[in-house]
Amino acid sequence: MAPLTTQQPRVAFSTIGCRLNQAETALLKDGFRRRGFLPVEYGQDTDVLVLNSCTVTEGAEADCRRLVRQTLRRSPQAFVAVTGCYAQTGLEALRQIEGIDLIVGNQFKMQLPDILPPIPQQVKRPLPHVHHERMDPENFLLEGAGDYSTTRANLKIQDGCQFMCAFCLIPFARGRERSRFVDDAVREAKELVERGHRELVLTGVNIGQYQDEDSDLLGLISRLEAIGGLERIRISSIEPTTIPGGLLERMKSSQKLCRFLHVPLQSGDDTILRAMNRRYSVREYQVAMECAMHMIPDACFGTDVMVGFPGEGPTEFANTLAFIQDLPFAYLHVFSYSPRPGTASTKMASQVPPGVIKERSRILRELSCQKRKVFQQRFLGRELAVLFEEEVNGTWTGLTDHYLRVDVRSALDLKNTIQSVLATGVMTDRVMGLLNPLPGSFSLHDHQELAVIQEGNV
């Protein structure tokens, strides 16, 4: 590839959407770096912008268009490449956005560093180059290892989905289910650990469907647990009907697998679940969750809820609200329904007015805050193992294996270390704590201090 300038060419990245997109951007960043590019922060002057797009909501598509315009105001000479799910499903709309030079569908996303053509300076092409076709349904391997500045790193293990939920474009954007070759996933995991990452988050569209020859998700986890220096393995979002038998037992006994489950609910009303083409009933979801919480009482159990799906009247929303109130969720991710062209839900009657969707979303987000606080309070007075990430003004922040955000005051360098912390108080989105260099040695004085802190924060 011809150089962009006489100096090292710069490349910036912007990622919209899910953790899987973040994982893919990190791999792209690694690929560009190995090909002689200098990655710079988004917003800095750059020669190339790579925008990894999302198509889950109308808002994500609008963000894509806005980011292209913002980049060209800062770096009018920049070569703009758009890839990701919007590049796959919104090709014709992207063709109309002035300033885009290259559109790369998901099939060719990871080849982007090699697809990028020689780029003349200060010259914009009248029409973007396009690399676009349907996705290969076969299992895959990925080059390199993700480039992360954080203590945790994402590990892409799976792509695609064929569940065909009525509201979702992902089967069209990412194609059929397919899995990463297990040896290749383990190779990248080892490289990430060698770079200093102590926690890996397994990511994909439908990771419970992972299958490479004889290795299912549990088989892959077993391979990853054997990697020296890897302290934590976290499963990202997993569909309720795909949780493999034996996963809960492994989570309970494993020294590395985090006690964390994010299992999308979408609705707490059976009529809406059927209309969504979800594959479970409210009762089946409840039984599975209660089983998990009985087996692993400290597990963090989060979920996704969609508000305003067609046909969601006051009764259906009330059912969802009551269902969530009754179960020990630690938090909710609340999504507002937006019609996506090509999905079955766009043809459904009884569309919900935007104002109603906004109010119902507010109610569920307030409930999520209440749920989070209750979950946090369960750990007050207990010692927690925290993997610390960063420091701001003398306060270090990190995560427990059950996804509690914990802050402590310390002059020590705690970055990327796992420390014992006594949970002493609760704030809006985190737990406050006291650092303990000797686990199990907190004194009565510490617990008296805890009582004072609790009184002011709970």
Could you say which of 377, 399, 434 is where a domain stops?
377
Q: Per-residue pLDDT tens for 215-251?
A: 999 999 999 999 999 999 999 999 999 999 899 999 9
Q: Which CATH number covers residue 69?
A: 3.40.50.12160
Q: Do 120 and 49 lie in a common domain?
A: yes
Tokens linked to 150: 């954080």
Could you say which of 100, 131, 162 is where a domain stops?
131
Q: Is residue 159 part of a domain?
A: yes
Confidence grade of residue 4 (pLDDT, cut at 50, 70, 90): very low
What is the rounded average pLDDT of the residues 135-157? 94
Give the pLDDT confidence score for residue 259 in this predicted structure: 96
pLDDT at 451 over 60: no
- Count how many domains the chain has: 3
Q: Is residue 264 part of a domain?
A: yes
Q: Do 387 and 256 lie in a common domain?
A: no
Q: Is residue 282 part of a domain?
A: yes
Q: Do 311 and 414 lie in a common domain?
A: no
Q: Per-residue pLDDT tens for 107-125?
A: 999 999 998 877 655 455 5
Q: Which domain holds residue 401?
A: 383-457
Q: Which CATH number covers residue 450?
A: 2.40.50
Q: Do 289 and 391 lie in a common domain?
A: no
pTM for the model: 0.91
Give the pLDDT confidence score for residue 134 in this predicted structure: 85
pLDDT at 56 over 90: no
- Nearest Cα neighbor of 207 from 174, 168, 169, 236 is 236
Q: Is residue 143 part of a domain?
A: no
Residue 432 amino acid letter: M
Q: Do 266 and 404 lie in a common domain?
A: no
Give the pLDDT confidence score for residue 126 in this predicted structure: 66
Q: Do 414 and 389 lie in a common domain?
A: yes
Give the pLDDT confidence score for residue 120 in this predicted structure: 52
Q: Is residue 173 part of a domain?
A: yes
Q: Which CATH number covers residue 268?
A: 3.80.30.20
pLDDT at 452 over 50: no
Q: Do 77 and 170 lie in a common domain?
A: no
Q: Do 210 and 258 lie in a common domain?
A: yes
Report the share of the chain in percent with pLDDT over 90: 75
Q: Do 15 and 114 lie in a common domain?
A: yes
pLDDT at 387 over 90: yes
Confidence grade of residue 389 (pLDDT, cut at 50, 70, 90): very high
Q: Is residue 104 part of a domain?
A: yes
Q: Is residue 185 part of a domain?
A: yes
Give the pLDDT confidence score for residue 448 in this predicted structure: 41
Q: Per-residue pLDDT tens for 187-216?
A: 999 999 999 999 999 999 999 999 999 999
| Cα(158)–Cα(204) distance, integer angstroms | 5
Q: Do 355 and 254 lie in a common domain?
A: yes
Of 106-120, 298-312, 345-359, 381-395, least confident by mean pLDDT is 106-120
Q: Do 102 and 172 lie in a common domain?
A: no
Q: Do 165 and 29 lie in a common domain?
A: no
pLDDT at 23 over 50: yes
Q: Is residue 4 part of a domain?
A: no
